[in-house]
């Protein structure tokens, strides 16, 4: 029975992992930017939720539109005025630039919120759905549901809307997209904005069920890495699958041998990279490198 409980815990966390990774995946898939500040953007979303909850007593789930909108704007202007200047130059310029940004954001978070671990405490944090001897905490279930719903929403956005179509076209062939009238710089700004928005929302969800501090950003970024590589770059269903696989693998490893969870996740990443570069979901969705 305990194995089932571990599986449940893993799956519930996996939804959150998927949501954390999806923005990272879209930005990488469409623009070939590995956004090392992704973790900091998640933390930014988490602090927005924490701050609204602490000062105004508003439920963390209700703060999602605020963190989403704030990060959307942040991402849009960041891409429009800075990243558009270096996108498509070389593999590691954007990597280093976003690492610098991560340092800056971490410092800003430290200055505003100090280094302490923070958490949002809700009235329903400790209540669970009980099925026999199994526990499904309501808060985690709600986070899981929200994360999966938002991830699916993004899939609809990509496949059913004009802007989604323009984003896909741009990721396949920037020059051809320009030639059919798509303002590709604008598309890049919107893509980064959407990716940042997803990070912000994931941050709000993190704040609801976990503790966090400014120094958590690197861990969030590396988790996103692993999920994206496992699932396949730019694939939204892949991100969900990758998130679930990683979280379940971590949960079982942690149960078996606590210290080895990270080793297993990075070992998994290495194995997938070397054996099957396109990830578990091997189809091309956005651009290939």
Partner 1 sequence: MRLDVSGLASGYETLEVVRDVDLTVGESEWVALVGAVGAGKTAVMGAIAGSLPVRRGRVALDGVDVTALPAHERVRRGLTLVPEGRRLFAGMTVGENLAAGASRVRGREAKSRVERVLELFPVLAERRRQQVGTLSGGEQQMCAVGRALMTGPSLLLIDELSLGLAPVVLDGLLDALVNVRAEGTSLLVVDQDVETLLTYADRAYVLRSGGIVMSGIASSLLADASFAREYLGVP
Partner 2 sequence: MLAAGILLAGPAFLDQYWMRVVTFALMFAAMSAALNITAGFIGYPAFGDVVWFGLGAIATGTLMVKANWPFVAAVPVSVLLCTVLSALVGPSLLRLRGHYFAIGTLALNEATRALVQNLDVTGGGSGLALPITTGSVESTARFFYYLFLGAMALTVLVSLVIVRTRLGYGLRSIRANEDAAAAAGVNTTLLKTIAWTLSAALIGLTGAIYAYWISFIEPPAVFDIGISIKMFVIVLLGGVGTVFGPVIGAFGIQLLESQVWGNFLGYNLLILGGIVMVIVLFLPRGVVAFARSRARAVAALLSR
C-alpha of 45 from chain center? 11
Which one of partner 2, partner 1, none interacts with residue 34, CB within 5 to 8 A by kind?
Answer: partner 2
Which one of partner 1, partner 2, none interacts with residue 7, CB within 5 to 8 A by kind?
Answer: none
Helix (H, G, I), strand (E, B) or coil at 129: strand
User: Which residues from 181-220 bind partner 2, rule CB under 8 A?
Assistant: 218
Which one of partner 2, partner 1, none interacts with residue 166, CB within 5 to 8 A by kind?
Answer: partner 1
By CB atoms closer than 10 A (0-12, 13-18, 19+), residue 131 is exposed
**Residue 277 near partner 2 by CB under 8 A:** yes
- Neighbouring C-alpha atoms within 13 Å toward the C-beta of 184: 19
Q: Can you name the residues that pair with 128 across neighbouring β-strands?
A: 137
DSSP 25-85: HHHHHHH----TTHHHHHHHHHHHHHHHHHHH---GGGGHHHHHHHHHHHHHHHIIIIIHH
Closest to partner 2 by CB, 70 vs 93, is 93
Closest to partner 2 by CB, 106 vs 151, is 106
Which one of partner 1, partner 2, none interacts with residue 205, CB within 5 to 8 A by kind?
Answer: none
Of 102, 174, 240, 287, the one binding partner 2 (CB under 8 A) is 102
Stretch of 6-14, 41-49, 51-59, 107-115 contacting partner 2, by CB under 8 A: 107-115
CA distance from start to end of the chain: 44
Which one of partner 1, partner 2, none interacts with residue 92, CB within 5 to 8 A by kind?
Answer: partner 2
118: left (phi over 0), alpha (psi -120 to 50) or beta: beta
The CA–CA distances, whole Å, from 212 to 4, 40, 46, 118, 141 equal 27, 11, 8, 5, 19
Residues 16-35, mask of contacts with partner 2 (x by CB under 8 A): ------------x---x-x-
**Residue 269 near partner 2 by CB under 8 A:** yes
By CB atoms closer than 10 A (0-12, 13-18, 19+), residue 172 is middle
Which one of partner 2, partner 1, none interacts with residue 284, CB within 5 to 8 A by kind?
Answer: partner 1
Which one of partner 1, partner 2, none interacts with residue 259, CB within 5 to 8 A by kind?
Answer: partner 2
By CB atoms closer than 10 A (0-12, 13-18, 19+), residue 254 is middle
User: Which residues from 37-96 bind partner 2, rule CB under 8 A?
Assistant: 82, 85-86, 89-93, 95-96
- Count of residues engaged in binding partner 2, rule: CB under 8 A: 43
Footprint of partner 2 (CB under 8 A): 28, 32, 34, 82, 85-86, 89-93, 95-97, 99-108, 110-111, 218, 222, 225-226, 229, 259-260, 262-263, 266-267, 269-270, 273-274, 277, 289
């Amino acid at each position: 029975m305990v194995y089932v409980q571990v599986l449940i815990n893993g799956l519930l966390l996996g939804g959150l992992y998927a949501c954390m990774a999806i923005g990272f995946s879209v930005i990488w898939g469409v623009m070939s930017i590995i956004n090392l500040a992704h973790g900091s953007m998640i933390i930014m979303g988490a602090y927005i939720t924490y701050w609204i909850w602490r000062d105004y007593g508003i439920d963390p789930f209700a703060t999602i539109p605020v963190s989403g909108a704030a990060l959307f704007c942040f991402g849009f202007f960041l891409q429009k005025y800075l990243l558009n200047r270096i996108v498509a130059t070389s593999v590691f310029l954007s990597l280093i630039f976003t690492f610098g940004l991560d340092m800056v954001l971490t410092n800003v978070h430290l200055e505003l919120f100090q280094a302490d671990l923070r958490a949002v405490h809700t009235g329903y944090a400790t209540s669970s759905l009980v099925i026999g001897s199994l526990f499904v905490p309501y808060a985690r279930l709600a986070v899981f549901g929200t994360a999966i719903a938002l991830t699916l929403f993004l899939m609809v956005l990509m496949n059913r809307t004009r802007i989604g179509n323009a984003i896909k076209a741009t990721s396949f062939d920037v020059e051809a997209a320009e030639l059919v009238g798509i303002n590709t710089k604008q598309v890049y700004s919107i893509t980064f904005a959407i990716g940042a928005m997803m990070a912000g929302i994931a941050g709000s969800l993190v704040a609801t069920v976990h503790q966090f501090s400014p120094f958590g950003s690197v861990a969030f970024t590396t988790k996103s890495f692993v999920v994206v590589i496992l699932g396949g770059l730019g694939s939204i269903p892949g991100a969900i699958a990758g998130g679930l696989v990683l979280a379940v693998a971590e949960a079982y490893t942690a149960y078996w041998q606590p210290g080895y969870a990270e080793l297993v996740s990075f070992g998994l990443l290495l194995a997938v990279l070397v054996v099957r570069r396109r990830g578990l979901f091997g189809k091309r969705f956005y651009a290939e490198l």
